[in-house]
Amino acid sequence: MQLHERVEGDNKLSSAEKETTISMYGDSKEATIHSFRPSVVRSLLQHDHLEVTEIIGRNNDGSMVRADDRTTAQERLRVIHAVTGKIPVGCLKVKSTRRSNNHQSNIVSNETTSRNVREDAICNQ
């Protein structure tokens, strides 16, 4: 089973606690993104350019477990609740027009205009 297929909401968190944050520092070419929102977590885990730094979930006995990468998460996590990672700033876009809906899951797209977004971002530092 792929990681995005293991995503479930954490019933111990209220809706308000299932947040998504995007941070950019100084002139960094990467943004840090973190989410506990299941639809966003699923989309991020499917994104080619997300460099995972932490995945939070539960193992087979229900204990909360953290994994530092996709491979460890694949081995240790039965259910995934959250993901944190780095993504090239070139993958982010604030549109000048509204989307047709306000679903948070639509902020993450797997469409790419360049196969080398990460390489371009790193090379242009």
The Cβ of residue 60 has, within 10 Å, a number of other Cβ atoms equal to: 10
| Residue 121: both structure tokens together | 């971002």
Is residue 114 included in any domain, yes or no? no
Q: What backbone phi and psi angles, to 5 degrees, belong to 43? A: -65, -40
Grade residue 24 by pLDDT with cuts at 50, 70 and 90: very high
Number of folded domains that form the chain:
1
Instruction: List the beta bridge partners of residue 35.
Output: 20, 83
| 3, 76, 99 from 84: Cα distances, Å | 14, 17, 25
Is 70 exceeded by the pLDDT of residue 14? yes
Indicate the range of 9-18, 26-35, 52-61, 98-107 predicted with least confidence: 98-107
Q: What backbone phi and psi angles, to 5 degrees, belong to 87? A: -140, 140
pLDDT at position 19 is 93
Is residue 94 included in any domain, yes or no? yes
Is residue 117 included in any domain, yes or no? no
Tell me the one-letter amino acid at 97. Answer: T
The span from the first CA to the last CA of the chain, in angstroms, equals 37
Is 50 exceeded by the pLDDT of residue 103? yes
Grade residue 69 by pLDDT with cuts at 50, 70 and 90: very high
Grade residue 95 by pLDDT with cuts at 50, 70 and 90: confident
pLDDT at position 122 is 45
DSSP at 66: E
Of 107 and 70, the structure prediction assigns the larger pLDDT to: 70
Mean predicted confidence (pLDDT) in 12-40: 92
Instruction: Give the three-class secondary structure for 33.
Output: strand
Name the H helices within the chain: 38-46, 70-76, 117-123
pLDDT at position 124 is 42
Range of the domain at 43: 3-109
